[in-house]
Amino acid sequence: MPPSHPFDDDKLHEECGVFGVVGVADAANFVALGLHALQHRGQEAGGIVSYDPATGFQSARRFGYVRDNFTKASLMETLPGQLAIGHVRYSTAGSKGNTAIRDVQPFFGEFSMGGAALAHNGNITNAEALRRELIDHGSIFQSSSDSECIIHLMARSFQRTIPERMKDALRRVEGAFSVVAMTRTKLIGVRDPLGVRPLVLGRVADGWALSSETCALDIIGAEFVREIEPGEMVVISTENGIESFRPFGHAPSRFCIFEHVYFSRPDSILGGRSVYETRRQIGVELAREAPVDADLVCPVPDSGTPAAIGFSHESGIPYGMGIIRNQYMGRTFIEPTEQIRNMGVRLKLNVNRALIAGKRVVLVDDSVVRGTTSRKIKEMILDAGAKEVHFRIASPPTAWPCFYGVDTPEREKLLASQMTEDEMRDHLGVDSLKFVTLDGLYRAAGEAGGRNAQCPQYCDACFSGDYPVAPSDMIAKGFQTKAAE
């Protein structure tokens, strides 16, 4: 298993991406390509399960990048069939470095009516309570993943088909989930009632594809058809086409707004909007809300680039690549010694001194989490001869942990939970620090009136502390939500 990048702990990370295909020859090859496009959502491990009538269910799970594992003909030949699903994973904060291969999805279960495999993006907020209940009633878990609860709940259902058993199981589940699953003949996609995590449907040749993002449909030449709706289950087969069900009733959508800010690739489409255009518009909002006299606007690559372009265009301050990213750093560079660790972000980023020297620089980044990387980047910019350093952040202050499928530090480690904006400015040692407001972020995402405080259009709990689904397991451990405070 590749070690975590030693300088990559100051960003929030999605924990996984899912992809599935039905009705095409060598479906596993399509899934491998889709997972490659979703690699940004999970870089620790990946897995594929396929089904072929002649060989039955076959699976492969590997640590590391998709390109290093699922491009080998010798492996892909073991995954035949016209139906396959896959998963890429980024472990939760508590399990980094301790992941076992049994934790790598998709998970598989054999039921009386046949086998089923399942891949899950999100987080089950009552998983610990469910796990205790299931173990008390005789279930034997094979992994430490919350997603395995779904398989066990399906096994305990008395419904006669696997899709019906899945409905039963997911009605017991709290939190956020986008699920891609498969039986011997069907590809299944489900989103939780609030639609917190993304899931889209595509048409590929004579078959169909389900994906966490549209960019993965592009790589296999699939046509984007539509998003799976919040609370919707689709069951897809070559015989019956697409069947749609609503097993959870109706609730207002609370899609994760951080997908727009950071998680999704900029070439994906979310809610009918280009992710790139939303991020560029965040920069426009920032320039309007927090203007500054400066000579140069620079992104912190790569996630700050669209917002920096928007900030530059709106402010009239020239845009420049003042920081250059080493694209070949990777997560498996070297086992870091203390001396290497002290180099910090210099192994990943380098300052374009000729551009920076003597300038008042606006640095645009997507977020400030712990603040450690921001401080190092500021020092590099000053060392290169900048006269002033101003930070503009393309998201509101991240003050609350996420419990819906995002790897977030404990609340006390989030800088914004402990300091005011002015205190953060002094802590980072910059000339000014401004975050886009929550209303500004909503406007950039297409909500002209800003945030509806009575019924927010997105899940923004990491900024507001407003959790649309109570994190039951964490509350049982003593975590206090903003409402409780």
Residue written as token pair 């800003």: 450
Closest by CA position to 47, among listed 22, 25, 92, 79: 79
Closest by CA position to 106, among listed 83, 131, 127, 128: 83
Closest by CA position to 125, among listed 475, 480, 461, 483: 475
16 noted as active-site residue = yes
Asked if 197 and 121 touch (Cβ cutoff 8 Å), the reply is: yes
Asked if 374 and 389 touch (Cβ cutoff 8 Å), the reply is: no
Q: How far apart are the first and last CA of the chain?
A: 41
Distance between CA atoms of residues 295 and 191, nearest Å:
46
Closest by CA position to 405, among listed 141, 225, 145, 207: 145
Q: What is the 3-state secondary structure (H, E, C) of 184-212?
A: CCCEEEEECCCCCCCCEEEEECCEEEEEC
Give the Cβ contact number of residue 62 at 10 Å: 18
Asked if 386 and 323 touch (Cβ cutoff 8 Å), the reply is: no
Tokens of 196: 């917190």
Extended strands (E) in 273-386 = 273-274, 296-299, 323-325, 349-351, 360-365
Residue written as token pair 């899609």: 255
Largest CA distance in the chain: 72
Closest by CA position to 297, among listed 176, 172, 287: 287
Tokens of 349: 């980023």
The secondary structure element, H or E, covering residue 226 is strand 223-227
Asked if 182 and 20 touch (Cβ cutoff 8 Å), the reply is: yes
From the list 16, 402, 459, 462, the catalytic residue is: 16
- Enumerate the active-site residues: 16
